[in-house]
């Protein structure tokens, strides 16, 4: 199993991104990228939804779509 151990930017806990996940690809492409664990990601999402009123599920879908496009 191939993986990266990454430090969460939010809570500083060490998480693991396993090969095949979107997070793994993101770390592989940019090792300096700020990583957030699922708990912190959820917290940030809820916070930004509260502040902006924008549903982040739509943003996430667009984000995934743009990643797929950039991999073509
Ligand atoms: Zn965290």
How far is the centre of ligand 1, averaged over its atoms, from the C-alpha of 45 (Å)? Answer: 13
Q: Domains in the chain: how many in total?
A: 1
* Cα 72 to ligand 1 centroid, rounded to whole Å: 31
Is 32 in contact with 44 (CB distance < 8 Å)?
Answer: no
What's the CA-to-centroid distance between 34 and ligand 1, angstroms? 11
pLDDT digit string (tens) for 3-29? 999 899 889 999 888 999 988 998 889
Residue 72: the pLDDT is 66
Calpha distance 14→36 (Å, rounded): 10
The model's pTM = 0.55
d(CA 23, CA 36): 9
Residue 49 has pLDDT above 90, yes or no: no
The rounded Å distance from CA 27 to ligand 1 centre is: 16
Q: What is the pLDDT of residue 20?
A: 93
> Could you tell me the residue range of the domain that residue 65 belongs to?
3-71
Ligand 1 centroid, distance to 12 Cα (angstroms): 6
């Amino acid at each position: 199993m191939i993986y990266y151990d990454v430090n969460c930017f939010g809570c500083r806990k060490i998480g693991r991104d396993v090969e095949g996940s979107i997070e793994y690809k993101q770390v592989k492409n940019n090792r300096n990228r700020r990583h957030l664990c699922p708990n912190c990601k959820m917290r940030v999402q809820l916070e930004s939804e509260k502040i902006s009123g924008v549903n982040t599920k739509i943003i996430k879908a667009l984000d995934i779509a743009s990643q797929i496009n950039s991999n073509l």
